Every structure is written in structure tokens, then in C-alpha cells.
Structure 1
């Protein structure tokens, strides 16, 4: 048996048939994990906070104060379940697999689906846009297929923001499910390179632009570091959208800039949580005066580029001096409807008005995966998914639930169509929610399906009727 490498641990790992490769301290033979083998060493015990590692028993108290698994103090903007829907018991409904439904039950569900989508005014229009800020990177031959695919999506999202009059200075962009923060990066790049005589003299100060990135898990290879020291306020919050109170984020209460919500593949229930976060946060200030003057963008893109005032009607705020600005609009790429949850879903009232409830919603969410996963070749498994992430960066989707009952009366093409109808109905509830809050909302296919099967973008700006009533 070969000896341990110099400066490496001398403990032999039986399972791996080799010595431990950990570096040891000066004068030591074993690493920290195997220090119990050292003569005169203290006994090592399992860390009570995380059983994946051990600690010297005589140093336990000191370790617990700095262990990475210790409970950290919650930030001021953490308010537990502030963006969750009401816990009325329906969220505890037992999930029933489609394979447990009889053919008669499935036929009944399909009849309810077809009735519910009849006359539904939320058609998805084809509207593939782009933005010149990404053109050079799109033409870069060093980018592989995956990078090129994401650049196309980011370019179209920026194009939609531009067309809606939302891409400009004097705003705070809140990126939900930010991941590495690429979308915020390109928003900053687009505004930095804009040749606007009215703002050219202020390009170095960036006093009228904020970018807030929200992601619940730690992320590697973040692009935030590229923007350190450039003057723009770039801040990242590691918090679940479910517990985020925007009215208590210090960055937003400093300058009270209007908010624009953005997101690229905001997965399942995360979309509903983000909508509640923007539209139902108690402390968000809403304007009651005349409409805000629209900040100049590069070129008007037709009537859509005029941004009306925010939803009128004051919202009670215990401290009127500390609040962010009004919501000026949003653009969110939708993803993974099968991961939606009834409690968080913003379209509950929309479903109930159509005689549908939590049970039908659960079934339609499962069926929605047929729209995308039915196109995967037989036997091909989806890529592994990070359960802690709220975004669908890799567009991973669970396989469609195939059963003998379903296969007996639905072809593959029919299952795909049913899946699309389920997505359309779920998104219809989101549009209904936004309209009841005074926003004009629409669904657009913002990229070709060859780029991604999850190619629908949800956009919203305050409606003209809200503007006129406000003025």
C-alpha cells in the first residue's frame, strides 16, 4: 500500500482505497476530520447544527457561534408569508395523481377546461423583439448554443420593456429569481450605452437608477461584481419572494423611485409570489395626483411606449415617510406551470367564478406539463433541477404524466393542446388579477419555440382608465 502524500492526511479511506487528500497542519499527521486518530487529541462529535460535519468536543461552544449552518438574524424586510395567499385549508388538499383518475373523471376535467377557456380574453400574440445593446454579444462566435439561447431571450425581454416605455432612468428594476443577475446586467448595459442628450450629462452619477436582485439561494458566478464601483446602486437580497416586504427594503425607501418588476423564467408559484409582492405589499405607495411625466426613452415605440400613472387609491402605510415608489409595470417570462400552488395562486377568484376550485387547479397544473414535456423523445429524462431555485434557467420540466387511461383516448398532439389550454387558463387568472388592480396586461410569445418551449412573456402597465381617474 502506497504511503500518504507529503503534507496530506495519513488516514486511509477503506471505501475509496486511498489516503485522505486533505492538507494537514504543521506538525500534524491527520486532518481535522480524522484528528481523533492523533494521540492525545480530543474526541470529535457530530455538529448539532449540521450532521454533515464534525467538531472537537472541547471546542463545540466556539464552533456553534461561527458555524455556517447556524440560524442567522433575519433582515428587516423578511416578513414571514407576507406574499402567501390565505391559508384557508384548500392548500392542504391531498394531491391526486392523474394516474389515479378514471377515464370518466379525466373526461369531466377536460369538459370543465374547455368550458372555462371559452371566450377567455387572453390570447397569446407572437411578438419577438430585440434590443441593440445585446447585438454585439449575440454576434460573438465564442458564445455556445446555450449562451446564445439565453441572450436571445434577454434581448427580447429588453425589447418589450423598451416598447412599453419601461426601460429608462428614474426607476428601480426589481429582478425576481435573479440567479446570476444577467437580466439586470443587460438592463444596466442598455441604459449605459443609450445616447440620450437629456441624460448624457448624468451618466456618471446614476443617481436615478437602482437595480434590486432577489434570489432565495446562494448563487455562483454572479455578475454583480462587474458593477462594483460604477456608481449605480446594485443590491442583492437573498430571501424567498414569499417572505419579502418591499416596503421595508432600505434601498427602495431612500429615493422612492417607481418600481419595474422583471424576471426570466420565474418558476411556477414564484410568479404568483412576485405578483403579490408587487401588487399587495401593504406599504407600497400609490399615487393619487396627476400621472407622472413619462421619462424619455430612446425612441417611442408607438402608443404602448406611453406609460400611464400608477394605480390610484392610497394604501394604508403606518409610516408614510418610508416607502418605495409606485409600481410602473412588469415583464416576467413564465415557466413551469406544473409547479404552481393553489394557496399562492393570484387567480383564485378567477377560477371560482368559473365554478373551479383547488382540486381542478391541481389537475390542470399537472396537465400543463403536457404542453412542453410531451415533445421530449421517449426515454429521455429531464435534467436535474435545483429545488432551492425559484427560476427555470435551464428550462427543466418534469416529464408528462403518462397513464394508460390518458393514452387510451388522447393522442400526443391532443395532450400537447390540452397542456397549452391549461397554461392559458392559469395565466388568464394572473391577467385577471392584474386588471383588477388597474393594469393592462398581455401575454406574448417573446421568442421562437426553438429557443425555448417556455416562450411566453407576461407584461403589464397601468391602464389608461387608471391614469384618467387619477388625474
Structure 2
């Protein structure tokens, strides 16, 4: 039944769709109804046999007919699923030097550190990035396959920003010579799978195209269904990247096509896990081999890896145990404690321009801090300006990414950082790319 007088002023429900008016969304439900029915299963209230609908015990976000509960629990998307065949033990971190783990007592938050300690961190950061070859190149590109969608006035601001990023990523893949047929594209942190969708649209006339989407969470509104009737191998794995062994994925064993890793905003440690998944074979000590004997295009047990393009974000969520640049950090005289601090400071790159009590004057700032207890704010307004905080945050990101570039170099790849989108589109606008280095 309609639940609001507003419904009477709205257009009728779409043909074949539910006639229930959703008050919160101010529109009719868009679920498809059964033949001869007016409402969908969620809104019909009473089923044909009189059984009432109850909240699903696995997920309170939806309901189920009470007399069909047993069968529903067997196929509910929120049920505990069997682990995929690709699931393996978490991958072991391999570095050529001994890990240095600081005691937990040393990992105090920034607000608990003295000005001297914070000044020391800033000095260490400046020393580490001095002379560092980690420049971020400007490179906002596009790909013609998204041009029509980018010009579609029905897309809102949010959708338009995502399309711009996807277009630029495809442009970089093409510029690197990676966007071709005869490849398997592995999208890490796939979400709805829009990036893979556009890769498919760009290459749908190519031969031997595979797309493997990796996402640990159950995702709604996936685009996978659009590719069921297409002559392309399109597969999704619900698994955490750290448990993924590509050599055990059946899809990759059929043709053993060369691999290309992609990802749009691969958050924090997920980037490091993806790099390990692509370039380290589980249980194999890569570092024990002389570099000149390693393959320029690494073979993770299936097809060789040709390259990657991963949009980075959320450096503050990186973890030392997964970080691929441990060896690089240790050679800089830095360890887990500094890494943890720099990760936290990296967030200043995207929030450093927010106003603090910097302009209030010391007396007003002290009074405000005595009420709020905001020690971090108190320190920052006396020590670093907003512009300086942003600069320090970017330097932290550059240092963390320099470790990733060092890792790629040890694996025989030439890595680069590119500013693939305008800051107005996204502040997290750095793309990590890599291709096999020239012999």
C-alpha cells in the first residue's frame, strides 16, 4: 500500500514494477513483481499461502516468507560461504633483511608526543625524502570508449567524477601498451566492477580476453550480469587479497594468458597485498635469486605479469606487516615506529587545508584546547601551518610510495607515479603504474 499522500502526486510506478511507495526515497519501489501481482515479495505483506514475512536472521536488511525460511537460508547472499579454491594461507612477507618490530609502548598517538618528538619525526621525514627520485608526473588522460557516457547529462557529479577517473586509468593502460586482447585483467578491490566493465567495452572485439574481479565483500548492483551473454571470460572471486593464490584460480589455468593488475582506489594495505599477490609466489623465496636471473615478467604460477595500473588511496591505512617497502625503509634508517607515524601524518595531505584555531591567537587557542582536549590541534597550530601540514602529508605519501617503487624495481619492473586526475575530481589522484623494465 502507498504510505504517503506524496504518492498521489507522484507518477505511477513503472510497468512491471512494485506499486509500493518508499517514503524514505520519495519514489515507488523499483523491484520487479511476479505475473499478476501488484507488489514485490518484500512489500506484498502477506504471501499467497498466508505465510507472514519475517526479518532474515542472517541479514536484517531484508525479509523472507516464514514458510520458505529454511530454503532461503541455504541460498541467502549473507550466508557463510565455502572458501573459494583460490583461498590459501595468508602470504608470508619476504624481505632480505630482518624485520624490526618496535615494542607497542613506542606506538603512541601523535597527540601524546612532545614537540621535540614530533620535530624529530618531521626532521627524519625531510632527510628521507631529500634527493628521493619519486616525482609524481602529471598525466590526466582519457579513453574514447567512455566519451559518450562522460557526455551523458543524466550522470550526476559523483558519477561523472568516477567516469573521469576510469577514463584516465584506461588511457594510461593504453599508453603503457597494456590495454590489448590476449590478456587477463585482474581487478583488485573490484567493488561493483565498473573498471573491468570499461576494460571489456574497450576490448570486446578482441580475442582471448579474461577479466577476474577480486572483492572480499558481498557487493550490490554489480555490473557482472551485463557480461553473462558475451564471449568473454568474466569471473568474480569473493576473497581477501591476502589469501589469494593466483596459481590456484581455475580461470587463469585454462589459457594462462599474461596478467595485468588494475585497481581504482585500492585502499592502504590492499595495494601492498595486491603487489605481493601479483609478484610473489607463495612459499618461494624470490630474494634468494640473483636479480639478473629473475624473469622480467614475473610468473605467479599462471600467466606472466606484464604490468599494472593501480590508483592509490588511504596511506594512513597501510600496515607494516604487509608493506612491500620494508627493505627500503630499513635502508633509510627507519623502522616500523616511523612508518606508523608517517602513515598517520599522510592524512594531512588531504585534510591539511582544513582550518584550525591557527588564526585565533595563542590565548584563544589555549582556552579552546583546555575545553576540547584537542592536543593535536594545539600542537599543529603552533608548529605547522595548514600549507606545511599538507606538504608534510604529501611527503609521507611519497616516501611510502617510494618503497613500493623500490619493490617493483627488485622484481624487474619500471614503476612510476602519475597524477591521473585533477584534485577537483579526487584528492587521492595518484596512479601507480609498472611495466617490465628494459633489459
Q: TM range, normalised to the smaller chain?
A: 0.7 to 0.9
Equivalent residues of 1:174, 1:214 under 8 A apart: yes
1:383 corresponds in structure 2 to none
Shift, 1:96, TM fit: 2.3
- Asked if the contact 2:168–2:420 (Cα under 8 Å) also holds between the matched residues in 1, the reply is yes
User: Which has the larger share of helix?
Assistant: 2
Instruction: Give the TM-score normalised by structure 2.
Output: 0.76
- 1:159 paired residue among 171, 174, 179: 171
CA displacement 1:301-346 (0-9 Å, x = unmatched) = xxxxxxxxx934987x9xxxxx411000000000000000010000
**Which one has more relative contact order, counting CA pairs under 8 Å at least 6 apart?**
1
- Deviation, 1:80, is 2.4
Find the aligned partners of 1:239 and 1:208 in 2 and give their Cα distance.
25
1:410 matched residue in structure 2: 384
Larger deviation, residues 72-81 vs 351-360: 72-81
1:439/1:462 contact within 8 Å kept: yes
Out of 327, 341, 350, which is 2:328 matched to? 350
SS at match of 2:407: helix
Query: In the alignment, what sits opposite 1:80?
Result: 89
Distance 1:162 1:236, change over 3 A: same
Q: Does residue 116 of the first structure (1) align with residue 128 of the second (2)? A: yes
1:416 counterpart SS class: helix
**Matched residue, 2:101:** 90
2:410 to 436, 457, 468: 436
Q: Is residue 209–residue 233 contact of structure 2 (8 Å, CA) maintained in 1? A: yes
In structure 2, the residue matched to 1:446 is: 420
SS at match of 1:174: strand
Q: Is the 8 A contact 2:318 2:343 kept in 1?
A: yes
**1:396 aligns to what?**
none
What CA distance in whole angstroms lies between the structure 2 residues aligned with 1:29 and 1:265? 45
Deviations 1:142-177 (A, max 9, x none): 211111111111111111111110000110000001
Task: Write out aligned runs for 1:165-180 (5 A).
Answer: 165-180=177-192
When residues 161 and 31 of structure 1 are mapped into structure 2, their CA distance, relative to the original with a 3 A threshold, is: closer
SS at match of 1:167: coil
1:278 maps to what in 2? 278
3-state SS of 1:90 partner: coil
CA contact (8 A) 2:141 2:172 kept: yes
SS in 1 for 2:303: coil
Q: Check the 8 A contact 2:352/2:390 in 1, yes or no.
A: yes
SS in structure 2 opposite 1:121? coil
- In structure 1, the residue matched to 2:13 is none
Specify whether residues 26 and 161 from structure 1 end up closer, same or farther in structure 2 by C-alpha distance, changes over 3 A only.
closer
Aligned to 2:202: 190
Structure 1 CA distance, aligned partners of 2:170 and 2:127? Answer: 36
- Within a 5 Å distance, the mapping from 1:19-38 to structure 2 comes to 23-24=45-46, 32=54
The answer to whether residue 274 in structure 2 is matched with residue 267 in structure 1 is: no
Cα offset for 1:93? 3.9
Q: Does 1:328 align with 2:350?
A: no
Matched residue of 2:321: which SS?
A: coil
Q: Is the 8 A contact 1:90 1:342 kept in 2?
A: no
Instruction: Compute the TM-score of the two structures, normalised by the length of structure 1.
Output: 0.71
Report deviation, 1:406.
2.4
Q: Hey, what does 1:16 align to over in structure 2?
A: none
Q: Any unmatched runs of 5+ in structure 1?
A: 1-20, 34-45, 193-202, 287-309, 318-322, 380-399, 466-471
Please tell me whether residue 130 in structure 1 is matched to residue 142 in structure 2.
Answer: yes
| Residue number in structure 1 paired with 2:222 | 222
How far, CA to CA, are the matches of 1:420 and 1:25 in structure 2? 58
Change beyond 3 A, Cα 1:187–1:105: same
Tell me the CA shift for residue 136 of structure 1.
1.5
Residues 116, 354 of structure 1: 8 Å contact kept: yes
Alignment map for 1:50-89 (pairs within 5 Å): 71-82=80-91
How many residue pairs align between the two structures? 372
Cα shift at 1:64: 7.8
Could you say if the C-alpha distance between residues 66 and 133 of structure 1 is closer, same or farther in structure 2, counting changes exceeding 3 Å? closer
Return 5+ residue gaps in structure 2 as ranges: 1-42, 287-293, 358-373
| 3-state SS in 2 of match to 1:165 | coil
Q: In 2 relative to 1, CA 62–453 (structure 1 residues): closer, same or farther, beyond 3 Å?
A: closer
Question: Which residue number in structure 2 is paired with residue 241 of structure 1?
Answer: 241
Q: CA RMSD in A?
A: 3.6
Matches within 5 A, 1:9-28: 23-24=45-46
- The answer to whether the 8 Å contact 1:311/1:462 transfers is no
Deviation at 1:223, TM superposition (A): 1.0
Indicate which of 274, 295, 312 corresponds to 1:311: 295
Mapped to 1, the partners of 2:201 and 2:420 lie a distance apart of 20
> Equivalents in 2 of 1:82, 1:96: separation in Å?
28
Q: Deviation string for 1:202-260 (max 9, x for gaps)?
A: x3xx5511011111101111111111111100101111101100110000011010000
Q: Is the 8 A contact 2:178 2:260 kept in 1?
A: yes
| 8 Å CA contact 2:143, 2:170 repeated in 1 | yes
Q: Cα 1:401–1:187, aligned 2, differ >3 Å: closer, same or farther? A: farther
CA distance in 2, matches of 1:346, 1:275: 8
